[in-house]
Each structure stands twice: as C-alpha cells, then as structure tokens.
Amino acid sequence: MKLGPSFLASFEAQSDRLTASDAQRELLKRVRFQRERSCRIPQLVDEDNKPVPNFTTVLSEIEDMLSLTSGSFWKLELKQRRQGKRTVPAAISEDIYAGYHLRARELYEQGAPAPKKTAIGELAREYGVPDTTIREIVRRAGGKKPKRKSKK
C-alpha cells in the first residue's frame, strides 16, 4: 500500500471537510496503516515471559473499536467538541487567510482602487460564505480578535 503525504497529514485538517462517518472511516484507515507498519516490531515480554501490550496491540484494540462491523463490546465514535456547526472549518480558514494576503498584494500591484475589499469579495464568492465571515477570519488570524473560548 503506497500512500502519499496527504495521508500522513494532520487528521484534523483533513477531517474538517468530512462528515462524522467519513472522518471515522478515515481514522480507521490510518489506524490500520500504522498497525500494519508496527507489526515489524518484535513483541516484548516481562520477567514472567508474559507478553507486554505494545503499540501494535493498542492499535489493534482501537481498530476493533472503530470498526463498524466489529463484534467488540466497546465502540469508539467521533464527535465534535463544541455544539453547533462551524461556519468555516479550520483548514479552510487557513486557506482563506493565506489567499487573502496573496490576492490583496496582487490587486495592489495591479493598481486596484480597494485591493483588500476586492480580495475579500473574491474569496467570499469562491468559498460561498458572506464577506463578514472572511473579514472575521482575517481579523482572528491576524491576532486582532481572540477566538471564542470553549465551554468545558
């Protein structure tokens, strides 16, 4: 199984664009991949020659709990930390913030009358979100407004 760098990239960044069931399937694929890679590590034993649970054993247990078809007593499910739907996932917010500066610079060099506002409008059209959302993403990423604190 040959996998590209996108497979090993941050799970959170990739799962931002997925539904809960798709994210769970993706996590299961990653756990299986890591378990297969770690099978080459020899099994450890304690003083009484009893096998010590290692990374492969733990990954097998996690794989069993994540699998929808498993007969395991325990089941793991992915859930969001906060209630409600995020308007724009974190990975897309990062793309928007990076794209905002590039577009604003390009528009400025072209001599556009309001490069920042034009860049905001273009990004809003491209990502299908209101202008105010783009402004909020840029403001928060620029460090001018803190993110909302999570309730614990």
Question: Using one digit for the tens of pLDDT, what is the confidence trace for 27-45?
Answer: 888 888 888 877 776 777 7
Residue 101: inside a domain: yes
Residue 81: inside a domain: no
Residue 45: inside a domain: yes
Question: Using one digit for the tens of pLDDT, what is the confidence trace for 49-66?
Answer: 777 777 777 888 888 888
Q: Which of 112, 150, 118 is nearest to 134 (CA)?
A: 118
> Which structural domain, as residue segments, surrounds residue 112?
90-141
Residue 151: inside a domain: no
pTM score, whole prediction: 0.47
Would you state the pLDDT for residue 2? 45
Q: Which of 85, 77, 71 is nearest to 129 (CA)?
A: 85
- Max Cα–Cα distance, the chain, nearest Å: 78
Task: Give residue 136's identity as a one-letter amino acid code.
Answer: E
- Indicate whether 60 and 17 sit together in one domain: yes
Residue 116: inside a domain: yes
Question: Using one digit for the tens of pLDDT, what is the confidence trace for 2-18?
Answer: 444 445 456 766 666 67
Judge whether residue 89 has pLDDT over 80. Answer: no
**Cα(82)–Cα(15) distance, integer angstroms:** 15
Residue 96: inside a domain: yes
- Residues 6+ away with beta carbon under 8 Å from 56: 35, 38, 39, 41
- Indicate whether 13 and 59 sit together in one domain: yes
| Tokens, residue 18 | 């997925």
**Number of domains forming the structure of the chain:** 2
